[in-house]
Amino acid sequence: MSVSRSVKRAFTLVELLVVIAIIGVLVALLLPAVQAAREAARRQQCQSNLRQQCLGLLNYESAKGSFPMAFEFATGANPAVLTPAQIGANWAVRALPYCEQQTVYNSIDQTVTVAGTWKGKAPPQMAHANNAAARTANIDSMRCPSDSYNQIQMEMSGGTIKWARGNYAANAGNGPLLSGRADGIFGADSGGWLDPKRRGVIGPNVAVRLKEIVDGTSNSMLLGEVRAGVTAVDQRGTWALGQAGSSVLFWFGTSGDANGPNICLASSDDVAGPLATDLPLLTQECMPDYTGDHWADQATTRSAHTGGVNIGMADGSAHFISDSIDVGAATLLNPWPDTVPMTVWDKLIASADEQATGQMPF
């Protein structure tokens, strides 16, 4: 009696290769979608953190009667020199108790002075050893998860003084941090702060009250994103340091050459820290800087997102702004003639220009 046996057919090598190829194609098709979904989640968290900072500042304004100043330095000092004047606490430090960071705030000693120099100027007060724990505190709500560079702490004095990174900066206005210029923003009596086309919301030694935002709180930028420096010595994106690019935005509209979000124009940011040898990396990362040894007086909004940045408004809302927003041409206006109109971007920066923004760009 014969017994019939069924023969099981195995995959041939060709069929196996075809299956592998199909899986590879599916993965290649799905991977960008997965990456895009992850970045969308990171961007949403980034915007949520920004909104939290704005609400903290609004609580500060309600309690104190005005927003915190961008940072403080000695009355009468020239911020372009700042010798021997010392930079005091910035807006982020002052607002810590209103942003659920009372413990960090309690650890700060605001009575100390720091000896020595940094970039030829007096070191900031937060550089004191008494404030090491506070300035190196990695505060998640201060950081945007899309920015991988915010894991690298900023270094001063050859790496002996470190600072934690942050991704949100105050809107000082559309003028440089220079007392030698008519459009400089360095205090309540400075030309840039008195000019309604330039005044922001939070300036050095001065800040506005809510009722002084005559353009409307929903039309005026309070905070904007900044990227953390792409090298350890690049001071941009440093939450406890009160300087342009670190935690404050200056001269980032039509009247400057850093006129718009994520602009890659060479030398558009003027910040302290980056070296001439860093220039290739700065260019590659769209993080330009005038790399001379100078005072930080200009910086615009920057992000690791594709196509734009998040900004927070004085009403506590946060929005994504496209890089293609109307910013006009960089014209270096000093003074700003009436014949040169303000752009939509300029109107978001200025808090008292009393010009209609029109349809909001978000």
Render pLDDT for 224-282 as a digit per residue (tens, 0 to 9): 999 999 999 999 999 999 989 999 999 999 888 899 999 999 889 998 788 878 889 99
pLDDT at 184 over 50: yes
Q: How many CB atoms lie within 10 A of CB 11?
A: 10
The pLDDT score that the predictor gives to residue 138 is: 98
Q: Please tell me which residue, 275 or 49, carries the higher pLDDT value.
A: 49
Write the DSSP assignment of 169-218 as a string of letters: EEEEESS-S-TTSTT--SSTTSHHHH-TTTB-SEETTEE--GGG-TT-GG
Q: Report DSSP state, residue 34.
A: H
Share of the chain above pLDDT 90, in %: 62
Mean pLDDT (the chain, rounded) = 89
Q: How many CB atoms lie within 10 A of CB 173?
A: 33
pLDDT at 212 over 80: yes
| Among candidate residues 215, 131, 146, 200, the one with its CA nearest the CA of residue 169 | 200
pTM of the entire structure? 0.89
The pLDDT score that the predictor gives to residue 79 is: 63
Residue 321 β-bridge partners: 309
Report strand pairing: 248-250 vs 168-173.
Answer: parallel
- Categorize the per-residue pLDDT at 4 as very low, low, confident or very high, splitting at 50, 70 and 90: low
Report strand pairing: 318-322 vs 308-313.
Answer: antiparallel
Render pLDDT for 320-358 as a digit per residue (tens, 0 to 9): 999 999 998 877 777 788 888 899 999 999 999 988 777
How many residues can be counted in the chain?
Answer: 362
Task: Decide: 300 and 259 in contact? Cβ < 8 Å.
Answer: yes
Q: How many CB atoms lie within 10 A of CB 55?
A: 17
pLDDT at 46 over 90: yes
- Categorize the per-residue pLDDT at 7 as very low, low, confident or very high, splitting at 50, 70 and 90: low
As a whole number, mean pLDDT of residues 18-29 equals 87
As a whole number, mean pLDDT of residues 72-94 equals 73
Identify the H or E element spanning 40: helix 13-64
As a whole number, mean pLDDT of residues 188-214 equals 95
Q: Report DSSP state, residue 324.
A: T
At 141, phi and psi to the nearest 5? -70, -10
Identify the H or E element spanning 249: strand 248-250
The pLDDT score that the predictor gives to residue 85 is: 56
Q: Three-class SS of residue 67? A: coil
The pLDDT score that the predictor gives to residue 361 is: 81
Residues 266, 152, 143, CA angle at the centre, nearest 5°?
85
The pLDDT score that the predictor gives to residue 12 is: 83
Share of the chain above pLDDT 70, in %: 91
Render pLDDT for 87-142 as a digit per residue (tens, 0 to 9): 889 999 999 999 999 999 999 998 887 776 655 566 788 999 999 999 999 999 99
As a whole number, mean pLDDT of residues 187-208 equals 94
The pLDDT score that the predictor gives to residue 240 is: 96
The pLDDT score that the predictor gives to residue 78 is: 63
Q: Three-class SS of residue 162? A: strand
- Categorize the per-residue pLDDT at 84 as very low, low, confident or very high, splitting at 50, 70 and 90: very low
Q: Please tell me which residue, 22 or 118, carries the higher pLDDT value.
A: 22
